[in-house]
Amino acid sequence: FFTHVAPAVFDSRPTFRAFRLLLDNYSRHCGEEEEVTEEESEENRHFLDVIMETGPMKYCHQYCLAKKATYGGESIPEEEEGFKEVLRSIWLELYSRSGGEMDSSGFEHVFVGEVKNDKVSGFHNWIQFYLEETKGNIDYRGYIKPRSCDDSMAETNGDDHVLTLQFAWNGVEKFVGTSFIGVSPEFELALYTIVFLTTEEEDSDISLDVGGE
């Protein structure tokens, strides 16, 4: 799928480096209990620290405050450290996806991907896709034409930032998977956090301008 990605981006940008360190912290099979080491806990803390230094995450925090968002029945903290704890709970705290073991987290599902019932679940991040593809773990099957309010605009080109892909991951199928392409970890985390904290309905419609004329 990817023909060229500048490797320097993963070393020159702190959020990309911190994000990449988290990708190998999980077992991809639902039902296998996750074990979080001290090193992985430190990587989690570092990731939250560096993303909260970015514009998108600062905007996310202020937007949630302006919308009087709540989490766990409490108002979103005004202090940055308190908001980091909200992010940790939403994205990094373990829970059970299989109904038994503590085998998943929001971060693992959305960004890393999981295997459940012999199908790939989650896996919506272009960085993870690129890194797994370079290892030979991805069999790219093609894309599905993106949705558009205007059918004449439902085309793909080199400037696309959202694509729906079909692929196999280590031999396991992902029949439909939509991902942003080329965006930063902080952009995705900010967007998904805003949607999670400020919308009430699971099927809420979200409009996002991703460029174009």
Active site residues: 109, 124, 174
80-87 vs 38-51: helix axis angle to the nearest 10?
A: 130
Cα–Cα dist 163/145, whole Å: 8
CB-based contact 90:106 (threshold 8 Å): yes
Q: Which of helix, strand or coil describes residue 75?
A: strand
CB-based contact 193:106 (threshold 8 Å): no
- Among 206, 133, 143, CA closest to 170: 133
Cα–Cα dist 86/91, whole Å: 9
- Among 164, 159, 148, CA closest to 211: 159
Indicate the helix (H) or strand (E) that contains 120. Answer: strand 119-121
CB atoms within 10 A of CB 167: 22
Residue matched to tokens 């890393």: 112
